[in-house]
Structure 1
Amino acid sequence: MKLPALAAAAALALCSASSLAGTVGVFDRHQDVGDTAIAGKADFHEGVYTLSASGTNIWGTTDAFHYAYDEVMGDVALSADIAFEGQGVDPHRKAGVMLRQSLDAGSPYLDIMLHGDGLVSLQFRETQGGETHQVVANQTGARSVKLEYRNGYAWMSLAGQDGAVRYVGGGVRLPLSGTYLAGLALSSHNNTVSETAVFSRVELSRPVAMSAPTLLTPVESTLETLEISNKNRTIVWHTTGHIEAPNWSPDGSYLLYNSAGHLFTIPVSGPVNGGTPVKLETGALNKMNNDHGFSPDGKEIVVSDQTEPDNQSRIHILPAAGGTPRLVTPNGPSYWHGWSPDGKTLAYIAQRGGDYDVYSIPVGGGPETRLTTTPGLDDGAEYSADGQWIYFNSVRSGNMKLWRMKSDGSGAEQLTFGDDSRDWFPHPSPDGKWIAFIAFGTDVAVGDHPANKDVELRLMPAAGGEAVVLAWLFGGQGTINVPSWSPDSKKIAFVSYRPKE
C-alpha cells in the first residue's frame, strides 16, 4: 500500500493482506536484503506479522536481514509492538521498524531496533556504504516502538513502564530523497541460524505536520553523550521541559546543567533516565544562565547569574556541592566561559563600552584585564589544557569563526576558514588534542547563535585543521555553550531539542 506523497495529515488505515505476490499485510513486498544464508519468511495473520530471518547484522557498512516494506514519500510514522520467539542464539539479534533509501545492502537508513538482550537504539547510516551509528535509549526492553520521520529528522518513541508510548529523544537529521522504503526488519546476528520475531499493532501512517519552528517555539530536551571514537550517542535523560549547557563533573560521574534559572545535577548513567535530577543549592541566585562550569580541582562551581537589581549577568563562585555564592565580577554584563588549569584565573566575555570582548580576572576577584580589543563580537573564551592558549569565536574576519590567542591576549590566530558556517564555542579536550564546537548555517546572522536551528557538532585538531561532523541535530543556543568534555577526553555531553506538538 503506497502512502500518497501529498496525503493530508491523517493516519492511514491498515489494509488486509492482498492477493498480490509478495504482499504481506500493509506492506507490498518482503524479501531478504544482503547476504543471508537461510531464506527469510514473512507471514500476516489476524493483524500479526511473523518474520523469520538469518543475516550477520544490521550494522557497519552493509546489512543482512529480512524486510517487509512499502514505498513511501514525505513524512511517515511507523510503529509496532515487537517480541522475539525463543531464547535466541545471539543476544544481539535485532528486530525493529526501518526506513531505508533502497534495498542495497549498504543503503542509508534509519531504524529503531530492539536487541535480544533488551537494548533499544535508533540506528542510522548517513551515506551509501558508510558506517552505521546509533543513539542508545536510556531504557531497555521496550516492546512498543514508534519511529517518526518529519522534515528530515527521525524521532524515537518507546513504551514506558505504564505502557504509554512517548518520545524519548534521539533526534537524528538524515534526509531521505524521493521515494524510499518503510517497513519491518529482522536479523539473527548469526548467519548460520534463523530467528523469529512477532510484530503486532503495526501502523504505517502520515504524521501531523510540524510547523516551521521559530525562536519562540517551545521544545522538549534530551541530555546526551557522544563517543568521539565512533560518533555513537547515548541518551542520559529526556524531559518535556527546557534544559541547557551540560558540564561534565571532573570525576566523570555526573553532569551539571541549567534550567529555568537554576542548576541541576544528574548521574551520567543509571537504571532509568540516568538517574534523578537534583537541584543544586545556590543561595540567592535564581536567574542563572547557560554559562557555568567546574573548577579544575572539582571543588567549586562558577556560574553566571542575571543579578538584581539591573538583571545584568555577573559571575559568582560557590562550592561544587552547593552553598552560598560569592561575587567575582561586580561589573555586568559578564559571562563566564573558562577557568585556567592552575585554578587562578577566570576567562569571560564582558560588554564594556558597547563591545563584547574577552576579559580575565583572578578567581579571588580584583581588577579585570581586557584581552581582546578588535572591534566586533568575541565570545566563548576557554583555556587550553596546558593554559598556554585561550580559544574563542570572533566576527573579526567578517564571519563568525574560531580563533585562539596566547593566555595574555597576544598572538591571535584564526583556526576555522572555508565554508560559510557560523562557528561557536570552541571546547578544548582535557588531553589537549581536540576542539569540539557547534556550527550554524547561513540562515543565522553572523553574530547570532539562536535556539531552534539545524546545527552541526564538529571536531577539529587543537592547532587547527580539517573539521569533521560528529552529529547533525536540532539545537543551537543551549546545546553545547560551555565546557562539556568527559575528563578522559573520550566523550562530550550536549542537549538536543525537539519542537513540541
Structure 2
Amino acid sequence: MARRLRAGQRAEVFVVDVRTGVSRLVFASDEVLVEAPNWTPDGKWLVVNGDGLLFRLPVNGGELEEIPLGGVPEINNDHVVSPDGATVYVSAEDGHLYAVPMAGGEPRRVSNDRGDGFRHYLHGISPDGETLAYIGMDAARTTNVWTIPAGGGVDVQVTDDEFADDGCEFGPDGSIYFNSERASTAPGHAQLFRIAGETVEQLTDDERVNWFPHPAPDGSAIAYVSFPPGTLGHPADVEDVRVRLLEGGRIREIATVFGGQGTMNVPSWSPDSSAFAYVAYPVE
C-alpha cells in the first residue's frame, strides 16, 4: 500500500548545490506523497514515485509527468535509472524487480523466484548498466546484499550473515556501498560501509543511525540520510533527520528535515556530481 500524506502535510522536493550547500525547492504537493528522487543521465529530469506510480519532474521545477508502468504492479520507493536513460528499473509490491522502458512499452521482469516470502528491494545499478544491486529479504526477514544482471540471469549473494544490511549501491569504481548494523551491538544502530572485493570497510562511526549511502558519480562525496540515535530501521515522519555529505572522511551537514523514509532512498546525484536531490515532508 503506497504511503499517503497526513493531514496538513506536504512533500517538498529539493535540489542542493554541492558547492554552496544551498537547497532549492523544485516541487511541492499537498496531494501526492512523492519519494526517492533519481536523476536522469541528461540532467533534465528527476524520477520519483508516488501513489504506487512513477513520475518524472523537471529539475528546474514544473509538474509531475507519469511514466507508464505497462501493467507492473504497484511500486515502492526503490527505483534506479539506467546509464543510457532508456530504462528505469523498479521494485514492485509483489516483491519482484522490473525493467520499464522510459518512453513507454512492454515491461520485463528481471528478478527470479527465490521461494515463498523472498522479496527484492532495488537500490543500485553498476556504472556500465549491466548489473543491479538489491537487498534480498527472506521469509525470516533477514536482509542481505545481492546482485543480478540487469538483463536477467543468475543472482549473486554478496553478504550472507545475520546483520541487518540495506541500501546497497554501486560506486563509480564498481565497489558496493551499503548500510549495516554489523559494527554495533545496539539494535538499529546502522552505519555506512563499502565492499571492495573481499574487504568490508566501515565509513562512518558515530552516535547517529546512518542509512542509504549514495556515492557521487565522480567519487568526490557520499550523500546519506542520518537518523537520530536510537532509531530502529528507516521510518517515515521523523524529526531531526539530517541530509549529510561525507567528503574526505569529514561529515558536512546539508539540511535537517522532517522525513526519513522516502527522503533519499536511491541514487539521487546529478550526472556531473554538482548536485543531488532529496525530499522533506513538513507538517503544518
- TM-score with structure 1 length normalisation? 0.52
- Give the counterpart of 1:233 among 19, 23, 43: 23
**Shift of residue 324, structure 1, vs aligned partner:** 1.9
- Give the counterpart of 2:203 among 402, 410, 415: 415
Please give the root-mean-square deviation of Cα atoms over the aligned residues, in Å: 1.6
Report the residue type matching 2:237 in the other structure. Answer: N
Q: Aligned residue for 2:69?
A: 282
- Partner SS for 1:438: strand
- Give the counterpart of 1:451 among 229, 236, 239: 236
* TM-superposition CA deviations, 1:244-269 (whole Å, max 9, x none): 01111110001110001000111111
Report the residue type matching 1:495 in the other structure. Answer: V
Report the residue type matching 1:478 in the other structure. Answer: G
Q: Aligned residue for 1:393?
A: 179
- Give the counterpart of 2:131 among 341, 345, 361: 345
1:270-349 to 2 correspondences below 5 Å: 274-307=61-94, 313-331=95-113, 332-349=118-135
Question: How many residues end up aligned between the 2 structures?
Answer: 269
* In 2, Cα distance between equivalents of 1:286 and 1:360: 22
Q: Is the 8 A contact 2:5 2:30 kept in 1?
A: no
**Shift of residue 467, structure 1, vs aligned partner:** 1.0
**Shift of residue 322, structure 1, vs aligned partner:** 2.7
Return 250-259 or 452-461, whichever deviates more. 452-461
Report the residue type matching 1:237 in the other structure. Answer: F
Pairing 1:264–2:60 present: no
Q: Aligned residue for 2:254?
A: 470
Q: Aligned residue for 2:41?
A: 250
**Shift of residue 275, structure 1, vs aligned partner:** 1.8
Report the residue type matching 2:49 in the other structure. Answer: N
Pairing 1:492–2:280 present: no
Q: Aligned residue for 1:402?
A: 192
Identity %: 43
Q: Aligned residue for 2:224?
A: 437
Pairing 1:376–2:166 present: no
**Shift of residue 343, structure 1, vs aligned partner:** 1.6
Structure 1: gaps (5+ residues): 1-214, 308-312
Q: Aligned residue for 1:35?
A: none
Higher RCO, Cα 8 Å, sep 6+: 2
* In 2, Cα distance between equivalents of 1:233 and 1:323: 35
* In 2, Cα distance between equivalents of 1:348 and 1:379: 8
- TM-score with structure 2 length normalisation? 0.91
**Shift of residue 373, structure 1, vs aligned partner:** 1.4
Q: Which runs of 4+ in 1 moved over 2 A?
A: 215-219
Q: Is the 8 A contact 1:262 1:286 kept in 2?
A: no
Q: Is the 8 A contact 1:217 1:452 kept in 2?
A: no
* TM-superposition CA deviations, 1:449-494 (whole Å, max 9, x none): 1011120011113xx6121111111110000000000111011111
Q: Is the 8 A contact 2:268 2:276 kept in 1?
A: yes
**Shift of residue 443, structure 1, vs aligned partner:** 4.5
**Shift of residue 386, structure 1, vs aligned partner:** 2.1
Structure 2: gaps (5+ residues): none
